[in-house]
């Protein structure tokens, strides 16, 4: 199966454009305690239908090492006390921040939360050094998405002011690895 991967970036906080306000009350809160259990839950609940499989074999220690790196943050959208989606940020070099994961849980898709959550996450990428004294101020925020991700992903990134700087066909690791695992083993994709 051919898979296209798009690499996008912002090079100034002025590039960032807000999404429309969510139709229902929600809040975006930083997960201040590194928790492999919670992060793996978010990863599988959001990415299970979109071929997010890279981290599935990670041990608890590998998750903890990832989450414990300077400049790694998880921001979670909540609707009435229930997680609705998340943005994971990671410092990737001097002045560079990657949105390493972004998405909504299945129940939250189509409810007007994605643009707002992405705007909040990108805003936190731009001010990441304010919370991490060991980091340089952010000069670039980047992300990638592929044709296996949700159908609104690329349009949402562009609407928030991200620009495509590269496009590749069949990047290793993005190929179809078989049936999507769903949010838990055996759940399968949504109908």
Q: Which of 14, 151, 126 is nearest to 75 (CA)?
A: 126
Name the pairing type of β-strands 82-93 and 163-169.
Answer: unpaired
CA distance 95 to 83: 30
What confidence tier does 176 reach under pLDDT thresholds 50, 70, 90? very low
How high is the mean pLDDT of the chain?
Answer: 89
Structure confidence by residue, pLDDT tens digits, 86-132? 999 999 999 999 999 999 999 998 888 999 999 999 999 999 999 99
Structure confidence by residue, pLDDT tens digits, 13-52? 999 999 888 888 999 999 999 999 999 999 999 988 888 8
Q: Are the C-beta atoms of 86 and 114 separated by less than 8 Å?
A: no
What confidence tier does 191 reach under pLDDT thresholds 50, 70, 90? very low
What is residue 103's three-state secondary structure?
strand
Domain ranges in the chain?
A: 4-165
Strand partners, 76: 29, 86
Q: Which residue has the tokens 């060991």?
A: 134
Structure tokens at 121: 């996450």
pLDDT at 20: 87
pLDDT at 186: 53
Q: Kindly give, in sequence order, each residue whose CB lies less than 8 Å from that of residue 53, ignoring residues fewer than 6 positions away.
A: 177, 181
Phi-psi region at 186: left, alpha or beta (left = phi > 0; alpha = psi -120 to 50): left
CATH level 3 topology of 4-165: Aminopeptidase (3.40.630)
CB count in 10 Å sphere of residue 104: 22
CA distance 79 to 117: 12
């Amino acid at each position: 199966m051919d898979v296209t991967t798009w690499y996008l970036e912002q090079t100034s906080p002025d590039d960032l454009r807000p999404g429309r306000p969510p139709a229902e009350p929600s809040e975006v809160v930083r997960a201040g305690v590194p928790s492999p259990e919670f992060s793996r839950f978010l990863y599988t609940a959001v990415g299970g239908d979109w071929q997010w499989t890279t981290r599935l074999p990670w041990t608890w220690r590998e998750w903890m090492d990832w989450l414990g790196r300077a400049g790694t943050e998880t921001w979670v959208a909540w609707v009435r006390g229930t997680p609705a989606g998340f943005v994971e940020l990671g410092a990737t070099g001097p002045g560079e921040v990657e949105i390493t994961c972004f998405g909504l849980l299945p129940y939250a898709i189509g409810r007007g939360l994605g643009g707002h959550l992405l705007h909040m996450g990108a805003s936190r990428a731009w001010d990441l050094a304010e919370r991490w004294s060991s980091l340089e101020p952010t000069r670039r925020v980047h992300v990638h998405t592929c044709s296996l991700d949700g159908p609104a992903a690329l349009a949402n990134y562009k609407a928030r002011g991200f620009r495509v700087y590269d496009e590749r066909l069949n990047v290793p690791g993005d190929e179809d690895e078989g049936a999507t695992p769903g949010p838990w083993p055996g759940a399968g994709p949504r109908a």
